[in-house]
């Protein structure tokens, strides 16, 4: 995952059929629904909230003009500071915020009309719109946390502060799983795990590929992330395929039968070297959970742990795919798997991301 929040944001309505994640093959006797491991209740994304508020178009235009002026004042200062958003991106985000806030988007063109007293229905109070945009600019709060969702692949996923925001390049992990199971029905029908699931993005992507033939368990140490992931699983109708469990890495899998080894282990773990975190975008270093970012001194702590444990839990021919910080970590990981863990894995390779940067290490258990 490249830790930039500058992205292309789709404004499509959240489809009813979008699905969540995580459940396992050993759950025949268990209730087939995502486990929400804590009492934490995820926040509802803005565009899914009822339109309980109203304001005149004139007042909405006043807010919009204020927000545009504030955004324009940024210029390229955030870019120059830490590769953050410039004014043009902030303008686009402002338009997306209006779209998510309005009950009737067809009224947006009327924002250009002066002194329009027409009342419109809103999903958020107009005073809160001022507060939200101040948070975006003055606190550098990620836009995804402002509106409560992220568009990822063809999904719209609930996210909130305290839960890692999925990045576009991580979508390639789903493509790698799709390629593997397209020619291997045994793996398709097996048990997969998404370690460090965050919003549940990877597990949901895998679950949609496996369909009813396989199972996914999504695991996260963060109780809020596990709750949000479970919400997303239910939202996307995948509760019969995916189960969400809270815990550290493989620990929540202790009840899995020893003979039922895993078909796949997929993870986008923390891999940023600790000393690099202060240099990240303010949106990332200040607001996203450090638990999902910090990979230790060289960023390899969790990656090496996952490699060592994966060797003992994958079935013969089982697939793994891990995201890394880039070429240096990829090469180190491949060398480790081929030498230190010699004999455990085969067909280990490096896969590049959309920008051509070496990003993923994949392979199979011997």
Whose structure tokens read 């060797």?
311
* DSSP per-residue codes, 89-120: HHHHHHHHHHHHHBS-GGGGGGGGSTT---EE
Chain centroid to CA 8: 14
Determine the pLDDT at residue 27. Answer: 30
Is residue 137 domain-shared with residue 188, that is, in the same domain? no
**What are the residues whose beta carbons fall under 8 Å from the beta carbon of 98, sequence distance 6 or more?**
60, 64, 108, 111
CA distances from 32 to 217, 220, 239, 296 (A): 12, 19, 6, 36
Q: Taking a C-beta distance cutoff of 8 angstroms, is the pair 366, 343 a contact? A: yes
Determine the pLDDT at residue 39. Answer: 65
The reply to whether 273 falls in a domain is yes
Determine the pLDDT at residue 113. Answer: 86
pLDDT 10s digit of each residue in the chain, 366 long? Answer: 445 454 333 333 222 222 233 222 223 223 344 455 556 889 999 999 999 999 999 999 999 999 999 999 999 999 999 999 999 999 999 999 999 999 999 999 999 888 889 999 999 999 999 999 999 999 999 999 999 999 999 999 999 999 999 999 999 999 999 999 999 999 999 999 999 999 999 999 999 999 999 999 999 999 999 999 999 999 999 999 999 999 999 999 988 775 678 999 999 999 999 999 999 999 999 999 999 999 999 999 999 999 999 999 999 999 999 999 999 999 999 999 999 988 899 999 999 999 999 999 999 999
The reply to whether 25 falls in a domain is no
Is residue 215 domain-shared with residue 306, that is, in the same domain? yes
**What are the residues whose beta carbons fall under 8 Å from the beta carbon of 127, sequence distance 6 or more?**
none
Nearest Cα residue to 159 out of 108, 220, 215: 220
Determine the pLDDT at residue 64. Answer: 97
The reply to whether 13 falls in a domain is no
Residue count of the chain, please give it: 366
Burial pattern 163-187, b for ≥16 Cβ within 10 A else e, equals: bbbbbbbbbbbbebbeebbeeeeeb
Q: How many CB atoms lie within 10 A of CB 17?
A: 9
Q: Which of 100, 121, 147 is the last residue of a domain?
A: 147
Is residue 313 domain-shared with residue 358, that is, in the same domain? yes
**What are the residues whose beta carbons fall under 8 Å from the beta carbon of 320, sequence distance 6 or more?**
264, 265, 266, 310, 314, 345, 362, 363, 364, 365
Is residue 207 domain-shared with residue 143, that is, in the same domain? no
Is residue 343 domain-shared with residue 200, that is, in the same domain? yes
* Residue 203, domain extent: 162-365
Is residue 225 domain-shared with residue 93, that is, in the same domain? no
The reply to whether 10 falls in a domain is no
Q: Which of 147, 173, 201 is the last residue of a domain?
A: 147
Is residue 250 domain-shared with residue 328, that is, in the same domain? yes
The reply to whether 237 falls in a domain is yes
Determine the pLDDT at residue 20. Answer: 30
Is residue 232 domain-shared with residue 321, that is, in the same domain? yes
Q: Which of 14, 164, 319, 360 is flagged as catalytic?
A: 164
The reply to whether 38 falls in a domain is no
CA atoms of 316 and 319, how far apart (whole Å): 9
Is residue 338 domain-shared with residue 199, that is, in the same domain? yes
Q: Which of 114, 147, 180 is the last residue of a domain?
A: 147
CA distances from 60 to 63, 94, 113, 262 (A): 5, 12, 11, 53
Q: Which of 20, 37, 269, 270 is flagged as catalytic?
A: 269
Is residue 111 domain-shared with residue 213, that is, in the same domain? no
This prediction has a pTM of: 0.89
Determine the pLDDT at residue 114. Answer: 85
Determine the pLDDT at residue 38. Answer: 56
Determine the pLDDT at residue 255. Answer: 84
Nearest Cα residue to 321 out of 277, 359, 278: 359
Strand order in the sheet with 242-246: 242-246, 215-220, 191-195, 262-267, 314-323, 358-365, 345-352
Is residue 132 domain-shared with residue 197, that is, in the same domain? no
Domain count, the chain: 2
Q: Is 269 a catalytic residue?
A: yes
Residue 193 backbone phi and psi in degrees, to 5: -130, 145
Is residue 215 domain-shared with residue 260, that is, in the same domain? yes
The reply to whether 114 falls in a domain is yes
Q: Which of 268, 319, 322, 358 is flagged as catalytic?
A: 268
Write the CATH number for 311: 3.40.50.150
The reply to whether 348 falls in a domain is yes
């Amino acid at each position: 995952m490249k830790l930039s929040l500058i992205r292309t944001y789709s404004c499509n309505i959240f489809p009813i059929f979008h699905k969540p994640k995580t459940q396992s093959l050993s759950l025949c006797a268990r209730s087939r629904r995502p486990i929400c491991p804590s009492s934490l209740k995820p926040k509802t994304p803005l565009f899914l909230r009822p339109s309980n508020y109203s304001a005149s178009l004139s007042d909405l235009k006043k807010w919009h003009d204020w927000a545009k002026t504030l955004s324009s004042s940024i210029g390229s200062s955030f870019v120059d500071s830490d590769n953050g958003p410039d004014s043009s991106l902030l303008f686009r985000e402002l338009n997306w915020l209006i779209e998510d806030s309005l009950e009737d988007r067809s009224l947006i063109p009327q924002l250009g009309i002066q002194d329009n007293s027409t009342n419109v229905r809103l999903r958020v109070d107009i005073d809160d719109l001022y507060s939200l945009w101040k948070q975006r600019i003055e606190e550098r709060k990620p836009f995804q946390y402002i509106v409560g969702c992220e568009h990822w692949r063809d999904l719209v996923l609930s996210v909130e502060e305290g839960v890692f925001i999925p990045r576009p390049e991580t979508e390639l992990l789903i493509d790698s799983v799709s390629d593997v199971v397209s020619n291997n029905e045994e793996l398709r029908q097996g048990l997969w795990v998404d370690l460090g699931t965050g919003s549940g993005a990877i597990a949901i992507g895998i679950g949609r590929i496996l369909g009813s033939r396989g199972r996914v368990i999504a695991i996260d140490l963060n109780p809020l992330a596990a709750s949000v992931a479970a919400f997303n699983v239910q939202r996307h109708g995948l509760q019969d395929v995916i189960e969400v469990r809270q815990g550290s890495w493989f620990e929540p899998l202790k009840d899995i039968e020893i003979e039922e080894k895993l078909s796949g282990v997929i993870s986008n773990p923390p891999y940023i070297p600790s000393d690099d975190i202060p240099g990240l975008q303010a949106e990332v270093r200040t607001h996203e959970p450090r638990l999902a970012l910090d990979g230790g001194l060289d960023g390899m702590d969790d990656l090496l742990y996952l490699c060592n444990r994966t060797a003992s839990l994958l079935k013969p021919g089982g697939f793994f795919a891990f995201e890394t910080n880039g070429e240096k970590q990829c090469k180190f990981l491949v060398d480790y798997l081929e030498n230190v863990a010699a004999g455990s894995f085969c067909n280990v390779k490096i896969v590049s991301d959309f920008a051509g940067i070496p990003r993923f290490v994949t392979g199979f258990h011997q």
